Structures are given as C-alpha cells and as structure tokens.
Amino acid sequence: MLVHIPGVLEPGQLSSFMERLLSTDAPWVDGRATAGHQGAQVKRNEQIAEGTPLAVELGGVVEASLRRNPLFVSAALPDRLYPPMFNRYEGGMHFGSHVDGSIRYLPGSGTKIRTDLSATLFLADPSSYDGGELVVEDTYGTHAVKLAAGDMILYPASSVHRVEPVTRGVRTACFFWVQSLVRDDGQRALLFELDTAIQRLTATDADQAARVQLTGCYHNLLRMWSIAT
C-alpha cells in the first residue's frame, strides 16, 4: 500500500529546512555510512550525519508534525519511528534497486526497531531538479513518485525500490522508517480503508448506529492484530 500524505511541512518550515540544509556548514557525509552490505553496493548519495544537532533538530520538527497528522496516523498506525534522516542527490547520484533492512538499531542505544514502513518526505521543489524519482515495485506494479515539496510517500519497507539518477539540480529529502502497531501490510491496508470509510460516513452524518458498529469492528480488529510494545 502506497499512501501519499500531502502538506507534512508548511511553507515556512520548508524554507527554513532548505536554508539550513543548503548552508555550507551543513554536515553532509557519504550516504554509504549508514548502508548495509546490500545498500552500500548501489547507494550513491549524501546525507546529514546522524546524531548531529542539525539532524536532531530538523528530525524533531518532522516527528512533531507527523504526530499531528491524522492521515499518517491512520495509514501507519505508528508504534516507533526511526529518527528522520536527510539526504541529497546531484550530479548523477542515484540509489539502485534494494530492499530496506528489516531491523535497525536506534542511534545511541541498543534498542531495535522493525522497519515495517519506509517514508520519503520531499523537500526540494520538483521543478528544481530532473530525475530523482522514487520508484517502488509492489504487487500492483511499478510506481514512480516525485512529489511536491512538503509531501510524503509512505510504502512497505519490504518493497523493492530505487531512486533514479538526478541529472540536473539537487534532490533533497527526508527519510525514515516506521515500526507499526500492525506488522502485516494487508491488515494495515484493510484497517486504513475501514477507517477512511468511517470518516467519510461521519462527514456525511450517515446512520449513527451503523457508524458505531463499524467503529467497533475497526477497534476490535486493531485489538486482534496489534502488537503494541
């Protein structure tokens, strides 16, 4: 299930992010520093060094925005988030086809996170660069994604995906992983569709008794499938 989440960051936040990330003082490092064996062979980009004040500050803004975003909460049913990271591609940089590692250690601790979902939050105006599409392969085919600045795509971390070479300009983005309360992508998709239907029925003031019944079904399924820690 791919979910497009618009407007994660407001225009003022985007301007501040880009100003900070484009600064000559920004601590960019080789993206292979955090890649596993598979990823290091096909990863050609740069990223802000993990744990630096800039990464922590901007990542905190992203997390706070997501906590207030009902579409993200409904689609991801988040349990834990890997601290948001920031990358850039330019001059032909790309990230070849790969699958994200299933387990990651949270920086600075021995705590592990299961990567159920991957997320890419686009920060650069898509007209400012050529290429750089995120290409995701799933059971419904292959999807090329290049979103407006401030929009985010959420997709199963188990998907084969890649970033096409950037041939003009700079593609700047934020990325992270989510450990969901519901591990199975099919179950999450059903819950998301049910929640969306309930919200639409509520907006049209449809039969209240039916909405209560459907809401009960939603929460009973979530209770049955969730693996809250």
Higher pLDDT, 54 or 37: 54
Note whether 81 and 177 are within 8 A (CB): yes
Higher pLDDT, 6 or 33: 6
pLDDT per position as a tens digit, 193-216: 999 999 999 999 889 999 999 999
Per the confidence metrics, is the pTM higher than 0.85?
A: yes
Predicted confidence band of residue 86 (pLDDT cuts 50, 70, 90)? very high
- Domain extents for the chain? 3-180, 185-225
Whether 3-180 and 185-225 share one fold: the answer is no
Note whether 112 and 90 are within 8 A (CB): no
Superfamily of domain 185-225: Rabenosyn, Rab binding domain (4.10.860.20)
pLDDT per position as a tens digit, 109-137: 889 999 999 999 999 999 999 999 999 99
* pLDDT score recorded for residue 33: 78
Report the distance separating Cα 125 and Cα 148, nearest Å: 6
Locus of tokens 């250690």 = 105
Q: If you average pLDDT over residues 38-45, what whole number do you get?
A: 84
User: Is CATH 2.40.100.10 what the domain over 3-180 is classified as, yes or no?
Assistant: no
